Amino acid sequence: MQEKNIYFWSPIMHWEKSGNRIIINEYNAPTVAVEVFPEFYFCTQNGIEINELIDRFSNIDEKEIQELIMFLIEKKVLIKSILNPKDLFESQTKLFQKYDENLMFDKEKLDVYTNGQLNRMFKGCKKTKIELLKPNDTVLSMFERRSQRVFDETTKISQDVFSNLFGVLQQIKNKKEVKYAYGSAGGLYPIDIFIYIKKNRIDGVRRGLYYYHPVSHSIYLVDDMALITKDVHFYNNKNIFESSAFSIFMIYNSESSMAKYGGNAYSYALIEAGIITATLTSVAEHQGIGLCSIGDLHFDKVKKYFKLQGNQVLLHVIEGGLKLEQ
């Protein structure tokens, strides 16, 4: 049976009537929207097929309704897959009003803010305090970790080192169970790992986009023509990318967990992305590999190379490479 294309009104899109126009977020909808709202909006709340939506408004010129629908799909007002994290959480900004909009552009203000957050204390504590014992050397050695922004660009990463790094993500099977080195809600492991490898940076591996398969502990070529450049990154991250040997993309496959956990699966996946990052970081320290998490990038510019399905979204990106000798 062919899967239905059901579209929903995006939960982050809000509309209002202004004079003889319908305004949706910052977009001016086609003029026909005035004739069909709010009924059109209500029809899309629980999902509807395009043909059914057109039939609902058979009293309106079909071409105009089609143009309205195409406009709303293009602007991601009507959607048929889960939202990416950036769009999903950006809507929360206006709900948190205790911030200075100029904070990010004023170094002095930002330094004061950062220092305050690094020295914060929970206001609900009582005066009773119990000091814990000093951590042992094994624990203290973890403080040697640093985000690496410049890498050794002249030495190739060996197969041994590269395999060990991603070996911590592999699936181990025995007679009774399937095991991973890190936890996942319900044991579903819905994060797919893609690796973009640059030319002449890893011994025996050609440039291209690869998928890491944890069951076989192998990388499968996805696109040998994929070309990811610094242009996909924001200004502060361009040099990091240019120096790195590889990029790790964590893609959430919602088909693997939402059937069990519903919308909560999304938050569990974000937690898991953090666990994977911490796990890779710990192993990388022992392999002479440096890593640097990237907060945001223009993923739409390179998304075509990944051949993703509708309900797969990017959660996190890490740049990696050999550490420079200290």
The residues spanned by each domain of the chain are 6-80, 137-322
| pLDDT value of position 1 | 39
Peptide bond into 38 cis (omega under 30): yes
| pLDDT value of position 198 | 97
Contacts 24+ apart (CB under 8 A), 45-52: 45/8, 45/9, 46/8, 47/6, 47/7, 47/8, 48/6, 48/7, 49/4, 49/5, 49/6, 49/7, 50/5, 50/7
Distance CA 62, CA 64 (A): 5
Instruction: Provide the pLDDT confidence category of residue 141 given band limits of 50, 70 and 90.
Output: confident
Instruction: Provide the pLDDT confidence category of residue 326 given band limits of 50, 70 and 90.
Output: low
User: Which range, of 64-68, 134-138, 166-170, 314-318, averages the lowest pLDDT?
Assistant: 134-138
**If you average pLDDT over residues 129-149, what whole number do you get?**
90
**If you average pLDDT over residues 88-110, what whole number do you get?**
83
Task: State pLDDT tens for residues 251-277.
Answer: 999 999 999 999 999 999 999 999 999
Residue pair 131/141 in contact (Cβ under 8 Å)? The answer is no
User: Which are the contacts of 124, defined by CB distance < 8 A and separation ≥ 6?
Assistant: none
In this model, does residue 92 exceed pLDDT 80? Answer: yes
Burial of 154 (0-12, 13-18, 19+ CB in 10 A): exposed
**If you average pLDDT over residues 94-112, what whole number do you get?**
82
In this model, does residue 2 exceed pLDDT 60? Answer: no
According to CATH, what is the number of the domain 137-322?
3.40.109.10
Tell me, which fold does domain 6-80 have in CATH? Outer Surface Protein A; domain 3 (3.90.930)
Domains 6-80 and 137-322 in one fold = no
Q: Which of 110-114, 172-176, 180-184, 322-326 has the highest mean pLDDT?
A: 180-184
> In this structure, how many other beta carbons lie within 10 angstroms of the beta carbon of residue 148?
21
Q: Helix 159-167 vs helix 264-287: angle between axes, to the nearest 10 degrees?
A: 140
